[in-house]
Amino acid sequence: MKILIVDDNYFNVFLLQSILMENKIKIVTANDGEKAIEALKKTDFNLIFMDIEMPVMNGIETTNYIRTKLSEPKNKTPIVAITAHNIEYELINNADFNYVMLKTYEPEKIIKVVNKYASK
C-alpha cells in the first residue's frame, strides 16, 4: 500500500508518517498541491491525506484539480482532508473529499481511516 501525505508542516507530516510507517505502509510526501499533483501523475496511490491550508495550491484547489483534470483511476483516488480548524467544514463539505478529519493523529483513528478508504 502506498499513501501520499500532502502537508506543508514538517511536524504534522512526521507524525502522520510515523504512524503509517509503523504499519508497513509506503509513504510519499509533498509540501504543496502542485507537488502532490506531480507525484500523483507519476505514481498510483491507495490514499491521499490532504492538508487544507497550504501555499501554492491549497487542499481544496488540489482536490478539485485531481477530480476534474486527471483521468481514471487517478481522479478516483480516495482523499482524506486533514485540518486543524473546525471553521473550515463548510468549505470542505463542498469539496469532493471522501472523508474529513481533524489533525489529532491518534494512531487507531488513522489506521481505521486507512483501512476504510484505501484499497489494498
Q: Which residues in the chain land under pLDDT 50?
A: none
Q: State pTM to two decimals.
A: 0.91
Please report, as a single letter, which amino acid is at residue 45: F
- CB-CB contact of 25 with 1 (8 Å): yes
Burial (0-12, 13-18, 19+ Cβ within 10 Å), 93: exposed
- CB-CB contact of 59 with 24 (8 Å): no
**Mean pLDDT score across all residues of the chain:** 89
C-alpha cell read off for 38: 506531480
What domains does the chain contain, in order, with CATH numbers? Answer: 2-115 (3.40.50.2300)
- CB-CB contact of 103 with 84 (8 Å): yes
pLDDT the model gives residue 94: 65
Measured at the CA of 96, the angle between CA 45 and CA 10, to 5 degrees, comes to: 55
